[in-house]
Amino acid sequence: MSRYGAQFGPNFTFLGVPECDLDVPDTYGDADVVIVGAPFDGGTSYRSGARFGPSALRAACYLEHDGSRPSLALRVDGLKDMKVVDAGDVELYSGDATRSCADLEVVIEKIAQTGAIPLVLGGDHTITWPDVTGVARARGWGKIAVIHFDAHADTGDITFGSLVGHGQPMRRLIESGAVRGDRFFQIGLRGYWPEPETLGWMAEQGMRSYEMTEIVERGLSECLTEVFAHSLEDCDGIFLSVDIDVCDPGHAPGTGTPEPGGLTSRELLDAVRRICYELPIFGMDVVEVAPPYDHADITAMLGNRVILEALSAIARRRQDDREGTTWDPAQPLLADRFPGE
């Protein structure tokens, strides 16, 4: 489970950041963020193809892959102002979900034990089970809150006779005790699943889920503020899980289980930026990018920018903590007045 390079496609790192070898601690021991690919889609229930997500997420950009991306809004370079390295893909076999999850969990725990943030490129949403479990083992069992963007609750029990799949990771996490149900926040749910029995189980766990109708009525910003007010009660940090299908299929067509009526890409990017600036992030994954169903790299580009927004916001939070300053989202880019005033 050391660095395997790319399991599928050409071997390159995320936008040209330095590579690391998980068998050589000196290559990542002082890293702030370790990117790792999880090319697994053996848990899909509809359209597979997310195994190709890590390669697409690493490559989707029209700019040079030079390990630098200065953010216009945040005035930092998330790839330069922190030490960000790429460990390549964990070798995962989509035909054996249990083994693949166990192998991935070992890698994530190893990264998290250094204090670095594991940033996992999926893969289908099955991988969030080992991702969060690995972080919880390293940073505090039951002390990690989860903020989960998704069209689907992923709290099912058994699908196709299996306890492991992309519709079940959140139930597995809560049942194991890795995460408390009342510190599990879901944003963007909609559609026609799950059934009342599963919703009842979710209510018993104390989960808080924001369906799209509530988000539209109250506003995404207000919903996030409510999440922030409770997420760190008896918890030390946040795991952020972003299923790209939280966005409307018009903004993210390349995904395995599309559901109309979701967030816009702008709403998702703003939300991820705010979460990573205002809350302590212990781990993150971006999942369900399925390039075979994408066109014009729309979904892969969005996933790539979700990652960059997160990295930029984390870098800006750390800079502001050091300098005792606060980022102002209304700060103009070039001037504070119109010419001639």
- The tens digit of pLDDT for each residue in 66-125 reads 999 999 999 999 999 999 999 999 999 988 999 999 999 999 999 999 999 999 999 999
Q: Is 5 part of a structural domain of the chain?
A: no
Q: Is 36 part of a structural domain of the chain?
A: yes
pLDDT in tens, 133-157: 999 999 999 999 999 999 999 998 8
pLDDT (0 to 100) of residue 1:
40
Number of folded domains that form the chain = 1
Residue 130 has pLDDT above 80, yes or no: yes
Q: Using 50, 70 and 90 to split pLDDT, how confident is the model at 165? A: confident
Tokens of 131: 């991702």
CATH number of the domain bearing residue 158: 3.40.800.10
pLDDT in tens, 216-247: 999 999 999 999 999 999 999 999 999 999 99
pLDDT in tens, 16-54: 999 999 999 999 999 999 999 999 999 888 899 999 999
**Which run of H or of E encompasses 242?**
strand 237-243
Omega cis (within 30) before 140: no
Tokens of 321: 């903590």
Q: Is 336 part of a structural domain of the chain?
A: no
Domain interval for residue 197:
14-320
Residue 163 has pLDDT above 80, yes or no: no
Q: Is 283 part of a structural domain of the chain?
A: yes
Q: Is 335 part of a structural domain of the chain?
A: no
Q: Is 333 part of a structural domain of the chain?
A: no
Phi/psi class of residue 72: alpha, beta or left (left: φ > 0; alpha: ψ in -120 to 50)? alpha
Residue 286 has pLDDT above 50, yes or no: yes
Query: Percentage of residues in the chain with pLDDT exceeding 70?
Result: 95
Q: Is 195 part of a structural domain of the chain?
A: yes
Backbone angles phi, psi at 74, to 5 degrees: -95, -10
Tokens of 116: 């670095």
Q: Are 43 and 161 in contact (CB under 8 A)?
A: no
Q: Is 234 part of a structural domain of the chain?
A: yes
pLDDT (0 to 100) of residue 170:
95
CA distances from 121 to 53, 182, 247 (A): 7, 26, 17
Q: Using 50, 70 and 90 to split pLDDT, how confident is the model at 166? A: confident
Residue 162 has pLDDT above 90, yes or no: no
pLDDT (0 to 100) of residue 187:
98
Residue 301 has pLDDT above 80, yes or no: yes
